[in-house]
Amino acid sequence: MAGLQWCGSGAEAKNRTCRRSKATQFRIAPADAGRIRCYATEILDRASACFLTVSLDPKRPDNPVIALLDAQWNPLADSSANTCHATRLLRAALAPLLQSLSEAWPPHALSQPLGVVSDGSGIGFSPDLPCPHHENWAGHIFDGDARLIELLAFQPGSTWSLLSTLSGGDTRH
């Protein structure tokens, strides 16, 4: 599975039966990190966005959806970023990760799309709020009401890191 590294024991890795508490054990393989950062950065730059989310709708698991957000977590309506080559590459790179994360929940438990967030430097996932489109998602993370698991570490000085620092806490768990 390209783009995904299981950090559990051998038996868990073979079995692939993870549960919600095991979501923290998923990480992006180091070999894929650079290209995923490159794709995300190109998409964000093209749209002048601060963040993007890549979500997997349980009704359409074969088609991850990318949403662009400003610094206040407001959606941007830039459709050109969703048609660029980097978008297709990012979807393909993150689809196995999203699929594996979705397997941590029973099929009926996810009524909203499960997704990850990126500022171009890292990728984060909240097992407490798996849908990054949840009302005040970032606020819950920054207030410490929900955890953010860094699947690909956010770089020092990145937008997410700066906002995390300004909010008065470390969002990583």
Per-residue pLDDT of the chain (173 residues; tens, 9 = 90+): 333 333 333 333 333 333 444 444 576 777 788 899 999 999 999 989 999 999 987 777 778 889 999 988 899 986 566 678 999 999 999 988 888 888 887 767 777 788 999 999 999 999 889 989 888 898 899 888 999 999 888 999 888 888 776 655 544 44
Q: Find, among 121, 102, 112, the residue nearest to 51 by Cα.
A: 121
pLDDT value of residue 28? 79
pLDDT value of residue 25? 59
Question: 108: number of CA atoms within 13 Å, CB side?
Answer: 0
Q: Structurally, how many domains does the chain consist of?
A: 1
Q: Is residue 48 part of a domain?
A: yes
Helix locations, 25-158, DSSP H? 30-47, 85-102, 137-142
Element (H, E) at 118: strand 114-118
pLDDT value of residue 69? 92
Token representation of residue 3: 């783009």
Q: Is residue 161 part of a domain?
A: yes
Helix locations, 48-146, DSSP H? 85-102, 137-142
Per the listing, tokens 């009704």 go with 59
Q: Is residue 171 part of a domain?
A: no
Q: Is residue 173 part of a domain?
A: no
pLDDT value of residue 15? 32
Rounded Cα distance between 145 and 122, Å, is 21
pLDDT value of residue 8? 33
User: Residue 105 is part of which domain span?
Assistant: 5-166
